[in-house]
Amino acid sequence: MKFKIIKKDKKTKARLGEITLPNGKIKTPVFIPVATKASVKAMSKHDLEELNPQILMCNTYHLMLRPGADLIKKMGGLHKFMNWNKPIITDSAGFQAFSLGYGKEHFTGKIGSYFVGRKKKPKAEVEKLALINDNFVQFKSIYDEKIKHLTPEKSIKIQEKLKADIIIALDECTSPFSSYNYTKKSLERTHSWAKRCIKAHKTNQPLFGVIQGGEYKDLRQKSANFISKLNFDGYCIGGSLGKTKKKMHKIIDWIIALLPENKPRHLLGIGTVEDLFNTIEQGIDMFDCVAPPRLARSGYIYFSYKSGGNIKNKFRYRIKNSKYEKDKKPLDPNCDCKVCKHYTRAYIRHLFKSKELLAYNLATYHNLYFILRLMEDIRKAIKKGEFLKLKKKWLKK
Catalytic residues: 91, 288
**Mind giving me the DSSP string for 47-71?**
HHHHH--S-EEEEHHHHHHTT-HHH
Radius of gyration of the chain (CA): 21
**What is residue 323's DSSP assignment?**
G
Alpha helices in the chain (DSSP H): 45-51, 60-65, 69-74, 78-82, 94-99, 102-106, 152-162, 180-200, 217-228, 245-256, 273-281, 291-297, 338-342, 345-353, 358-384, 387-395
Helix/strand/coil for 206: coil
Query: What is the distance between the alpha carbons of residues 40 and 69, in angstroms, rounded to a whole number?
Result: 18
Helix/strand/coil for 84: coil
b/e map of 305-334 (b: 16 or more CB within 10 Å)? eebebbeeeebbbebbeeebeebeebbbee
| Neighbour count for residue 25 (Cβ, 10 Å) | 12
Query: What is the distance between the alpha carbons of residues 72 and 69, in angstroms, rounded to a whole number?
Result: 5
Name, in order, each residue with C-beta under 8 angstroms of 150's C-beta and a sequence gap of 6 or more.
Answer: 61, 64, 93, 97, 136, 137, 139, 170
| Neighbour count for residue 262 (Cβ, 10 Å) | 9
